[in-house]
Chains A and B, each alone.
Chain A
Amino acid sequence: MAYVKKALASVALALTVCSTALLAADEKPAGSDAVTRRLSQEQYRQVVSDLFGPSIKVGGRFEPDIRRDGLLAMGASQVSVTASGLEEYDKIARNVAAQVVSEQHRDTLIPCKPANAKAPDDACAAQFLSETGPMLYRRPLMPEELQSRVKVAADAATGLKDFYSGLGISLATMLESPKFLFRQEIAESDPNHAGQYRMDAYSKASQLSFFLWNAAPDPELLAAAEHGDLNSDKGLAKQVDRMIASPRLQGGVRAFFTDMLGFDEFETLAKDSMIFPKFNTKVAKDAQEQTLRTVTNLLVTQKADYRDIFTTHKTYLSPLLASVYEVPLVAPAGGWATYEFPEGDPRAGIVSQVSFVALHSHPGRSSPTLRGKAVREVLLCQKVPTPPANVNFTLVQDTKNPQYKTARARLHAHATDATCAGCHKIMDPIGLGLEAFDSGGSLRASENGETIDTTGELDGMKFTDAGGLAKAVHDDPAAPACVVSRASSYGLGRLPAKDEAEWVKNLQAGFKEGGYRFPALLRLIATSPEFYRVAPPQMGAIDGQSKLAQTNSNQEIRK
């Protein structure tokens, strides 16, 4: 009886119950719960820049992102906005809005002029907000949403006796609304798979766009969503191909590797300036840029084998980096130039670059353990256990001990302790291959007067230097499997669910068959139905059409 009443009260809810009820009792609908992600700082900046142009500056301190299961993109599904975080979002939003409506920008960014600049003008406000709103909320505005913001603009214009200030205040409230700051996945039942749910078309557009471009959907993608194109394989593939062919893919690939390689840690990386006078924040910035240029050139421009990022001798250097690497460079003033390390040089691939060896070191000295751990965790997706609690490290790195001059000797002494040996033997032999690079990333031949030995091994593959380590990582099947796993989790904003394991396996096989081409992997992920599948919504589900469409039709009924 209660069920009937409920069903009568809401047709939409009843339909949800019916379609879920179509499943056998032991058949769980596929897909994971929808995730809601907070925009990252980069995404926020990208949206503002796409919408208002690069001359609008986004200043302020963003709430820190958190890393979960190896990616900030997964932490984004768990964070909220703290009181001080919102205070900052509020400041940033008002500052952006003030620039948009400023005398300098209003003529280009606001499509109309108010009848009286000292009074409200609903028509002009509505025109601006209805064009801007969908780009911020990543879907069309519902009429009441538009009305609410037009009213804010009018009230504020009245209070401040200025149309533009009022419009700016209204724009700011959109920029700090959860509808902008959080990406929400809205589920609808999948007409092609009874009992299954998928994202609605606008959620799909966002999923795709943030995955490939690290940006909000552009007008063409929003139009494809509106016309239902993204619900057909052909329509989806067309958009995916367009986006992969676009130069904007570079931005998306950079964002992915910035996250996967943990470059956010550079923000707080400290190096002792007395020991490493060459290392400073500018070097740290250039070091990241070097790696991102190397990776995007190889993967996106050259469409090379993913594994080559570990062995390539070709890279990009700035004059500053050239001095850290101690190589001659002819570059335009303040600019970048390509550089190729000679065959046999220990600088091979991204693991030997400053961005890797400096990031995974102590402030005052190198660390084979930290570097070995990073190769395993960051590049091979293997978890290294945390150190046991009760450890005597006294011998480890007493750098002044005349008996143990090099890191290798000190670690050997430490790792003879049985409780430590188990973990150290899975990290140190990798990191010792990188000992020719100090904590600042520069090449060195000796430590405390003793010649450095760079022999090591990775899971049975023995090598004599960083070049050999690079080859070992290149040949390790865990490396391409890792990037597939990271890329899919990055796009989903969560770990794949149990029933998606098969999908990830297929992606890995497809990646291998295709010769490990990264854009092809992105295409494989972005065109899979699994990428858009979600579990039945927990509440407020609407069958067969999106909530937005439903709300619109309700409004029509009311009219």
Chain B
Amino acid sequence: MIPMKPVNRRRILRGIMGGAAVSVGLPFLDCFLDTNGTALAGGQQLPVVFGTWFWGLGLNPGRWEPAKPGKLEAMNTELQPLAAYKDKMNVFSGMKAFLDGKPNGVHFSGVQGMLTGTVPRGMIADKPSVDTLIADVIGTRTRFRSLEVACAGNPQHSQSRRNGAVVNPAEISPAALYSRIFGAEFTDPNAADFKPDPAVLVRRSALSAVADDRQSFEKTLGAADRARLDEYFTSLRGLEQQLDLQAQKPAPLAACTVPGKVDETPVGTEIEIVKANHKLFAGLLAHALACGQTQVINVAFADATSSLRRAGGTQTHHEFSHEEPVDAALGYQPTLAWFFNEIMTSLAFFVGSLDGIKEGDKTLLDRTVIMTATDLGYAKLHGLENMPMLTFGGGNGRIKTGLHIAAQGEPSSRVGLTLQQAMGVPVSSWGTDSMQTSKTVTEIMA
């Protein structure tokens, strides 16, 4: 007798679509959640998520800072696109990078200070970025420790690094990200039946032979090379863990749906192309988070020396920042303002993608903290004062939102330290030289 195959979500999808993958809203399965809908039926809270969203060149000074400290009321002009999220975000003004006599590595020092707590002496970073420190704590039990994307076509735009030479390369193609996450190796957490693939078990077992290569290979290495090999073997453990997870039945996640297949798209620095790819990435990352594939994401909208450009234009966003005169009547650089509006509108789309995934009476954004990062406070002069910083989401109630924190020239590393603590990283002091701080932003600590 041949047993009837149980009907599961995947079969339903296949049946409906005849193989063509498109996004299908599936009935909300309340049985997976507790009565509030915000935790797994087993009682555990849905896990926290951390992310960074980077863009280059900061914003126009005077056009983004909220009028008053404290509760976020009306948004200033350049943050207008984000107005819908004012209760779910924080704005930090007056944060800066201290150079301590080191040269200003233009488009570099500022973002390093913000993301690694350290302004390097030269143009080579040497400290891990805040997302990797957090991923080491919250990202160790997911299929991907973190996922990086770069929307302007260059994998090296990634700002996520484990140290100077180990930069987590970013996906530049939404289609490639789709198949990496939702391709053949994806296990739907809500599938009714689960049968581990014997090939997965075989591969997992084979990888232990690679792990065993460590001892003989390491014997003759010096200290620096050993550290590099440690990175390799950390990555190998990550790969082993991916296979371990594939061999187990995942816990159901009600909000998890498989997005529609993404086809290859053009990549480049032309802003319409960047925006289109960013939209696809935002959707894929939101689905990946809802499906428990990772808890850490990093988005680089563009590079620090923002090479975004308009079709047919001879100058890039970066070139405009230096070359466009400040309009005497307006008091700011109008073309630059146009680019910033495009960027903030994209950021709003990204935040909306997370907020659009409902998990009971809350949203995915509510258990997430997104920290934005940028390289400059005033691009025209490579200024490192008053660099705009934003956070979105409350991280499962660990972060208070709806606030404007008006600092008076304080190290931007304070935000990174605060978020590390909120995410459970056991760190009391973070950063180097004047960027070193043990002072968290207590106003936002829940």
Contacts and interface: CB of A to CB of B under 8 A. Distances in A.
Contacts of A274: 311-312
A186 B154 contact: no
A191 B209 CA distance: 36
A272 B199 CA distance: 47
Given A82-B167, A152-B209, A391-B381, A364 B322 contact: no
Interface stretch (B217-225, B253-261, B285-293, B419-427): B217-225
A79 B228 contact: yes
A410 to B, nearest CB: 9
Contacts of B242: 87
Interface stretch (B98-106, B336-344, B355-363, B409-417): B98-106
Given A80-B231, A82-B162, A87-B242, A387 B106 contact: yes
B383 to A, nearest CB: 8
B62 interface: no
Interface in A84-115: 84-87, 90, 94
Interface in B179-214: 180, 198-199, 201-203, 205-207, 209-210, 212-214
Contact of B309 (A79, A87, A187, A364): A364
Contacts of B207: 173
Given A274-B312, A363-B307, A363-B316, A386 B103 contact: yes
B77 interface: no
B209 A149 contact: yes
Given A170-B206, A178-B229, A272-B311, A160 B169 contact: no
Contacts of A149: 209
Interface string A372-397: 00000000000000110111111111
Contacts of B314: 272, 275, 362-365, 399
Interface residues of B, number: 77
Contact of A82 (B104, B168, B180): B168
Given A82-B231, A538-B222, A540-B219, A396 B323 contact: yes
A547 B220 CA distance: 9
Interface string B297-332: 000000000010101111110010011110000000
B144 interface: yes
A66 B167 CA distance: 10
A270 B270 contact: yes
Nearest to B199: A160
Given A272-B309, A390-B381, A396 B169 contact: no
B166 A75 contact: no
Contacts of B235: 80-83, 85-86
Contacts of B123: 386
Interface string A123-148: 00000000000000000001001001
A538 to B, nearest CB: 4
A268 B217 contact: no
B206 A169 contact: yes
Given A160-B198, A184-B221, A36 B228 contact: yes
A397 B312 contact: no
B209 A64 contact: no
A394 B322 contact: yes
Contact of A389 (B104, B210, B270): B104
A114 to B, nearest CB: 17
A215 interface: no
Contacts of A84: 144, 147-148, 168-169, 171
A389 B382 contact: yes
17 contacts: A34-B220, A36-B228, A78-B164, A78-B165, A80-B165, A82-B168, A82-B231, A87-B180, A145-B216, A170-B206, A268-B153, A362-B315, A389-B383, A390-B381, A390-B382, A397-B315, A538-B221
Interface of A: 33-36, 61, 63-64, 66, 68, 75, 78-87, 90, 94, 142, 145, 148-149, 151-152, 155-156, 159-160, 166, 169-170, 172-173, 176-179, 181-182, 184, 186-187, 267-268, 270, 272-275, 362-365, 386-387, 389-399, 537-541, 547, 551
Given A83-B235, A538-B222, 11 more contacts: A80-B165, A82-B167, A173-B207, A173-B209, A178-B217, A179-B217, A181-B232, A184-B221, A389-B381, A540-B220, A547-B220
